Structure 1
Amino acid sequence: MIYSFSRLNLYTTCPYRFFKKYIEGYEEPTTYPLALGKGVHKAVEDKINGVTHSEAVLNGLIEAEFHPEVTMDELSKLVSHAPIKENMGETEIHFQLPLSDTDSAPVLQGYIDLVSPDGSKIVDWKTNRVRYDVRDNHQVGLYAWAVGQLKNITQVEGNLYFLRFRRASKYVFNSADMERSRQWAFRVANEINSKREILDMLPEEAENLFLSKPSSHCRHCPFVIECYRKFSCY
């Protein structure tokens, strides 16, 4: 399994939901926040690359698969909040890197919304209704680590830009910061791999290996009823 920040983060949030989605392969319905995020990211990417605002917004609606809750007005407003300038950098940079030097190392992949020409600055666009600090999780730290590996640099300014608020949370990640994020991803990925090996031998142990973790995230989880029945002792 190739890992991404979202996969690793889902596992730490709720191992059972990770199991249902990524091991059993159940598809979750496309929610309004997910559809909106996809649409906005596509539209902002297009605008940075020279597409007109109206065409970019239309492309965003297509990317959102015309989700009934995603309106052109909201999408257009959020896209207009992006501080777009000429020669900002490359968009949607894909990386796929091993998390250590060993042959069996887990692999991390991701897509970085924007990387400046020299790699010294990265941006991730957010449509969230609540702001948070760029260091509250390891997403941008891992992206900074990846850019550091690709560009052979030791400092990367990571930005979460919250489009609703026109505000950024930024931090300059140094080598130690990047290493902390890499170690987190390496540890979580290895834990998942170890459990998957046990699962291959003892499939009946799935619910003991991947326990549910009740939290506020349950209200948006498509497996909540099934989970309640299986883990009602919680």
Structure 2
Amino acid sequence: MIYSFSRLHLYEQCPFRFRLKYIEGWKEPVTKSLALGKAVHEAIEAVIGGDGHSESVLKGWIAAEFHPEVSQDEVSELVKQAPIQRDMGETEVYFRLPLSSSPSAPEIQGYIDLVMGNMLVDWKTNWQPYHVLVNHQMGLYAWVVSQLAKVDEVEGSLYFLRFQRESRHTFNHQDMERSRQWALDLAESIEKNLFLLDTGLGKADDLFPATPSGSCQHCPFAVECYRKNVRM
């Protein structure tokens, strides 16, 4: 399995939801927040690429597959909040790297919204801003940029469009190694549990248990999870 920050973060939050989504293939509905985020990211990329505002917003709306809860007006307003200009950097930078030097190391992949030399930016459409160090996303992405650009420090920024608010941190080697190790530890834990599951040496409910938390209210599998816990 090739990993991403979102997959690892989901496993950390709830192994049961990870199992249903990525192992058993259960489909999650496309929520407004997911569709809106996709639309805004697509539109911002288009603006930086040289397209006009209206054309970029339309491209974003199309990318969101005309989600019924996403309006062009909302996409437009959020894009206007972004401090962007044409050709300011590389957008949607794809990466796929091994998490260690081991020949069998798990790999991490993903897209970085904007890279400008040794600086990276991630656009957020969230209703609630948070600190850049609250999780390992930016530390992991900073490590990726350090590998690609061969630099020792990377400046990472979360930009919350609704509030025109930025949370920024300069990641040094220790910061980035901490995030890389976090990703490697989780990926290896998943690999171990998948091996035990495939060989019949462990049960799925034990290897990928439900971990009820405040996130349950947003989980599309909450009913199934509740049923399993009630039986227990």
TM-score category (smaller protein) = over 0.9
Q: Tell me how far 1:72 sits from its aligned partner.
A: 1.0
Determine helix, strand or coil for the equivalent of 1:184.
helix
- CA–CA distance in structure 2, aligned partners of residues 88 and 174 of structure 1: 24
- CA–CA distance in structure 1, aligned partners of residues 146 and 169 of structure 2: 15
Gaps of 5+ in 1: none
Question: Paired residue for 1:57?
Answer: 57
Q: Tell me how far 1:233 sits from its aligned partner.
A: 6.7
Question: Paired residue for 1:151?
Answer: 149
Q: Tell me if structure 1 keeps the 8 A contact 2:132–2:138.
A: yes
TM-score under structure 1 length normalisation: 0.97
- CA–CA distance in structure 2, aligned partners of residues 169 and 107 of structure 1: 28
Task: Write out per-residue CA displacement over residues 45-76 of structure 1, whole angstroms, 9 at most, x where no aligned residue.
Answer: 00011010000000111111111110111110
Task: Write out per-residue CA displacement over residues 73-118 of structure 1, whole angstroms, 9 at most, x where no aligned residue.
Answer: 11100000010124311000000000000011000011000000xx
Q: Tell me how far 1:204 sits from its aligned partner.
A: 6.8
Whether 1:223 aligns to 2:228 is: no
- Select the residue among 135, 141, 144 that pairs with 1:137: 135
Question: Paired residue for 1:32?
Answer: 32
Question: Paired residue for 1:208?
Answer: 206
Q: Tell me how far 1:167 sits from its aligned partner.
A: 0.9
Percent pairwise identity? 59
Question: Paired residue for 1:47?
Answer: 47
Task: Write out per-residue CA displacement over residues 182-220 of structure 1, whole angstroms, 9 at most, x where no aligned residue.
Answer: 000000000000000000012870011100111111111
Determine helix, strand or coil for the equivalent of 1:123.
strand
Residues 1:157 and 1:62: Cα distance change in structure 2 (over 3 Å): same
TM-score under structure 2 length normalisation: 0.98
1:1-234 correspondence to structure 2 within 5 Å: 1-116=1-116, 119-202=117-200, 205-232=203-230
* Superposition misfits of 4+ residues, deviation over 6 angstroms: none
- CA–CA distance in structure 2, aligned partners of residues 182 and 233 of structure 1: 38
- Aligned residue pairs, count: 232
- CA–CA distance in structure 1, aligned partners of residues 7 and 48 of structure 2: 28
Determine helix, strand or coil for the equivalent of 2:42.
helix
Q: Tell me if structure 1 keeps the 8 A contact 2:47–2:86.
A: no
Cα RMSD after superposing both structures? 1.2
- CA–CA distance in structure 2, aligned partners of residues 144 and 223 of structure 1: 32
Determine helix, strand or coil for the equivalent of 1:231.
helix
Gaps of 5+ in 2: none
Determine helix, strand or coil for the equivalent of 1:183.
helix
Residues 1:203 and 1:78: Cα distance change in structure 2 (over 3 Å): farther
Determine helix, strand or coil for the equivalent of 2:114.
strand
Output the amino acid matched with 2:112: I
